[in-house]
Amino acid sequence: MNNSDFYDTPTVTGSRAGDLVRTRPVFVPQLTSAAGAWQVIYISTNSRSELVPASGIVLTPEAVAEPGATAILVYCTEFRGLGGVCAPSQLLAIGAEPDTTGIEAALRRGWVVAIPDGEGLGLTGGGPHTFLAARAGGRAVLDLARAVYRGANPDVPVAPVVAWGYADGGRVVAAAGELQPWYAPEVDLRGIAAGAVASDLAALAPAFSRGLGAGLGLAALIGLSRAYDQLPLRHILTEAGTRAVAEAQHLTDAALLKRFPQPVAHWCRRPDPWNDHWWRRVLALETLAHTMPAMPLHLYHGSDDEIVPVSAGRRTLIAYRQRGTEVSWREYGADHRATADAATPDVLARLGENITRRPPPKPGRPIGEGEHSEHATRP
C-alpha cells in the first residue's frame, strides 16, 4: 500500500469511536529509542458527535517499563499547519518532525507513545485542520487511546494512560481530561500535563490577531470555521479574505506565517471580527474548565512567552482551581520554545507519579454533553 492509498479516507459506516481501521509499520529515523512505529487510521467523532476517520502514529520503546511504571502516553504536538505535509505521523516517517525531545524522553522511560494527527490532518481531502477546536481534538486523543487498547500492535501492553500537549496541543489534552469521564470512561486516564494553555480564546484573540501571531489568527478563523461549519462563521470575510482562506487552508505553519503576516482584521468586514455574535458563541464553546477533570492536571508556562501570554496561562490555572481540579503550576523564566524543552524532565516526572496512583472516580456526565457519545468496553 503506497502512501496515498494508506491515507485515503475510509468509510465510517458500522464503526464505533476508537475502532482501528488499518495500520502499517514505518521507520522513524529521528527517534533512536523507538523499537517500532505504526501509522494508524482509526475512528473518532467531531464537534457534532458524528463519526469521522482520524490518523496518528503509535511508537513502542526498546524496552517496556516494568508493570506499575509503564504507560501509554498520548502526546499532542503544537500547531504544524492547516494542510500539506504537517501531520505528525507523516513528519516522523520522513524525519521532519521539529519536536522530538519529549517523545524520545518518554520512549526512554519505557512508555508507548501515541500521537494523534488531529482532525483534518493526515487523511487525504480531510482538511483543513480544525485548529483550536480543543473539544474535537480531545475526542481524537481519547479515541486513539481506545485504538491502542484494541490492538494497534499486539506488543503494546494495556497500561494506564497519560496525556501531554503544548500550546494548542495543551488545550487538546486538557479538553480530553474534561471529556473522559463520560466520553471514554473505560480509558484509564491517570494524569495530564499541558503547557502554554489559554482556557479563554476570547481573551487570547487580540494576541493572535496581529503582530507575531497574526498568521495564527487567520489559522484560528479557518480551523474553528471548519469545526463549526454548521454555523455562518465566514460571513465576516471580505472577498480578499475569502481568497486568503482558500489558499491558507492548504499550508503548513511556516508557509502560512510567511504568506499571511497581516492582522486578521485585514481580511474581515469589521475591525473586531471576534466580537461578531456567532464568533462569540464559538469562542465560548471552546473555553476550557467547563468541568473538573477527574485526574490531576499539571499546567506550565514560560514567563517570557511571546505567543501565548503567561497571563493567559495563569487565568487557566485559576479557572481550573475554581472548579476544584487537582491542579499544579510551574512557571519557567523562558520564551515559548525554550519552555517547551525545559519542562520535559518535570513533566515526565509528574506524569510518572500520576500513573502510580489509583484510578480516579468517574463522575457523572455533564448535563447537555455527550448525547451521542459511545461507551465501548475495553477487551
What domains sit in the chain, N to C, each tagged with a CATH number? 3-200+288-354 (3.40.50.1820), 202-284 (1.10.260.130)
pLDDT at 367 over 50: no
Using the structure block, give the residue that is written with the C-alpha cell 494512560. Answer: 161
Task: Tell me if 108 sits within 8 A of 199, measured CB to CB.
Answer: no
Cell of 138: 480531545
Q: Could you tell me where the DSSP H helices lie in the chain? A: 3-6, 88-93, 101-108, 134-149, 168-183, 201-204, 214-227, 239-248, 253-259, 277-285, 310-322, 336-342, 344-354
Lowest mean pLDDT among 6-20, 74-88, 209-223: 209-223
Q: Which pairing describes strands 112-116 and 51-61: parallel, antiparallel, or unpaired?
A: antiparallel
Q: Tell me whether the omega of the peptide bond preceding residue 128 falls within 30 degrees of 0, making it cis.
A: yes
Mean pLDDT on 121-141: 94
Say how far apart CA 330 and CA 258 lie, in whole Å. 32
Say how far apart CA 243 and CA 173 lie, in whole Å. 33
Give 43-91 pLDDT, tens digit per residue: 999 988 899 999 999 999 998 888 788 899 999 999 999 998 999 999 9
**Sheet-wide strand order for 161-166:** 20-25, 34-45, 51-61, 112-116, 72-76, 161-166, 189-195, 297-302, 327-332
pTM for the structure as a whole: 0.91
Tell me what percent of the chain is helix, strand and coil, each rounded to the nearest 5: 35, 20, 45
Q: Which helix (H) or strand (E) holds 42?
A: strand 34-45
The band of 377, judged by pLDDT with boundaries at 50, 70 and 90, is very low
Mean pLDDT of the chain: 89
pLDDT at 238 over 90: yes
Say how far apart CA 105 and CA 31 lie, in whole Å. 10
The band of 208, judged by pLDDT with boundaries at 50, 70 and 90, is confident
Percent of the chain whose predicted confidence (pLDDT) is above 90: 77
Mean pLDDT on 205-220: 81
Mean pLDDT on 260-266: 92
Say how far apart CA 43 and CA 76 lie, in whole Å. 17
The band of 331, judged by pLDDT with boundaries at 50, 70 and 90, is very high
CB atoms within 10 A of CB 337: 16
Amino acid identity for residue 379 in this structure: P
Say how far apart CA 69 and CA 224 lie, in whole Å. 38
pLDDT at residue 359, as a whole number: 63
Cα–Cα–Cα angle for 153, 158, 164, rounded to 5 degrees: 90
The band of 146, judged by pLDDT with boundaries at 50, 70 and 90, is very high
Sign of CA dihedral 268, 270, 271, 273: negative
pLDDT at residue 155, as a whole number: 59
Q: Which pairing describes strands 72-76 and 34-45: parallel, antiparallel, or unpaired?
A: unpaired
